[in-house]
Amino acid sequence: MSRVFARGPASLPRVATALGSRVWDTDGQSYLDASGGAIVVGVGHGNETVIEAAARQARAVSYAHATMFAADVLDDYAEALAGLVPVDDAHVYPVSGGSEAVETALKMARAYHLARGEDRHVIVSRRGSYHGNTRGALDASGRDGLRAPYAPWLGAAVHAPSPYEYRCPFPEAHPDGCAAAHVAALDKLFAEWPVAAFIAEPVAGAGLGACVPPSGYWPGVAEACRRHGVLLIADEVMTGFGRTGTWFGLDHWGVRADIVTAGKGAASGYWPLGLAIASGEVHATIAGAFTHGFTYSHHLVGAATGLAVLDALRPLVPGVADKGRFLLDGLRAVLAADERVGDVRGLGLLTGIELVADRATRRPYPRAHRLAERVTATARDLGLLIYHGTGCADGTDGDLVLLGPPLSTSEDELAEIIALCARAI
Ligand code: PMP
């Protein structure tokens, strides 16, 4: 009997080693990693340069409390990030993961308005969104199924419609006017509530399955935020670090955020690392009065790992768009005749498959079928690792499968992923 408080099913293979896009269990079974766990392992498994950088820092000094020491490695990492992230005059707050990054960003937003003498406290997010499992981040998530067991909520969050093309919340305006309809909905919410920040993923990942918004959406949203004095938090925990083919998801639309949150790909799974990255204006407004921090924030090995991951990503990011197109086209082709496949979508190497009971009406399977979970388990039996995200397509029902292989995955491996995925479904 294991004394681990388990997260998954009772019986799971026991992991032994991993290299590149492959993982092996203790029975010698090999798995092609099409999801990097939960879309984490951007640079691939077993990257010696990253491992060496982490070991070198750990040997020199692995831990120094951020209130006691500054460190060159933190400065170097923040400087390197500032040149890549879609935030003006970026200031980097390193933490231990995506949820902590979101918590940090939510507090930054509250602190920013308080420092300006404004009592704005409402967070607007989107239906079906996922921003983390800590109380504040879960509160800000638009996933009622995940929130309900822990009600009542801590704070005030309201949820705007999600740009979810397959089930567009504005069918009367879709496709030409739906971006404008989204912006109008936000305008209304921003006028009704004392809103501190709007938080959303550039491309919705875990909750909605790689939904790419219409082209006018992000520029319109950024403009609405500016009009109403609402801070824009881009949650790039899944989309950051090259995943969608640009360094950050917002880059596709040339939009800048007030705060960017990141995690997952930042350290590619080699260290628990998250980032809340504030604009110069947010930083200048709250610095000195921002009572925040964790024992493990500003971790030196985290920064060294993140820096080495950036170097490992540099040659990979330019190839992501083509690899993503190959994966998307390949999946669409092999799944075209499968009536259970409603939609195959994505951007770069973030790909979502939505499974439905009826393709014509887009009716989802009843939740009790747990179809996405079963497809994921079947794939694992076939030697393919895919991810079923945080659940359901519209926030209450439906089935999603997410693919996000390491950015280093070869075309041959992608072809194998396509074939195995079709068999699993
Ligand atoms: N935000 C987004 C967009 C995510 O996808 C996730 C994780 N799936 C989180 C936040 C939370 O990150 P973590 O699990 O590292 O706490």
What does the pLDDT look like over 357-387, one tens digit per residue? 999 999 888 878 888 989 999 999 999 999 9
Cα dist from 175 to 69, 126, 179, 213, 343, whole Å: 53, 19, 8, 11, 16
- Pick the atom of ligand 1 nearest to 272's CA: 15
Cis peptide before 94 (omega within 30 of 0): no
Looking at residue 155, its pLDDT comes to 73
Place of tokens 């190839």: 319
Evaluated on CA atoms 407, 410, 411, 416, the torsion sign reads negative
Q: Which fold has domain 15-46+317-424?
A: Aspartate Aminotransferase, domain 1 (3.90.1150)
Show the ligand 1 pocket: residues with CB < 6 angstroms.
38, 97-99, 102, 130-132, 201, 205-206, 235, 237-238, 263
Atom 5 of ligand 1, nearest CA residue: 238
Rounded to an integer, what distance in angstroms lies between the CA atom of residue 403 and that of residue 202?
Answer: 17
Distance 130 CA to ligand 1 centre (A): 7
C-alpha closest to that of 259 among 73, 35, 425, 108: 108
Looking at residue 393, its pLDDT comes to 43
Looking at residue 397, its pLDDT comes to 60
Q: ipTM of this predicted complex?
A: 0.99
Averages of pLDDT over each 10 residues, the chain, 425 residues: 85 96 98 96 98 98 97 98 98 98 98 97 94 94 87 83 91 93 97 97 93 97 98 98 98 98 98 98 96 97 98 98 98 96 97 93 85 93 90 61 97 98 97
Distance 201 CA to ligand 1 centre (A): 10
* 337, two tokens: 């005749």
Look over the chain and give the mean of its residue pLDDT values, rounded to a whole number.
94
Helices 300-313 and 72-82, interaxial angle, to 10°? 40
Q: Which residues pair with 353 in a beta bridge?
A: 344, 401
DSSP assignments along 109-156, one per residue: HHHHHHHTT----EEEEETT----SSHHHHHTS--HHHHGGGPSPSS-
Q: Which fold has domain 51-313?
A: Aspartate Aminotransferase; domain 2 (3.40.640)
Tens of pLDDT, residues 179-209: 999 999 999 999 999 999 999 999 999 888 9
Domain residues of the chain, as ranges? 15-46+317-424, 51-313
What does the H/E/C string look like for 4-56? CCCCCCCCCCCEEEEEECEEEECCCCEEEECCHHHHHCCCCECCHHHHHHHHH
- β-strand pairing of 91-95 with 274-278: antiparallel
Evaluated on CA atoms 152, 157, 159, 163, the torsion sign reads negative
Q: The pTM is what?
A: 0.97
Q: What are phi and psi of 178, to 5 degrees?
A: -75, -30
Distance 272 CA to ligand 1 centre (A): 12
Three-state secondary structure call for residue 375: helix
- Pick the atom of ligand 1 nearest to 134's CA: 16
Distance 338 CA to ligand 1 centre (A): 31
Rounded to an integer, what distance in angstroms lies between the CA atom of residue 310 and that of residue 211?
Answer: 26
* 415, two tokens: 């072809």
- Pick the atom of ligand 1 nearest to 132's CA: 11
Distance 132 CA to ligand 1 centre (A): 5
**Residue 407 DSSP label:** T
Rounded to an integer, what distance in angstroms lies between the CA atom of residue 160 and that of residue 140?
Answer: 11
- Of 35, 96, 130, the one to substitute when testing ligand 1's pocket (max ligand atoms within 8 A of C-beta) is 130
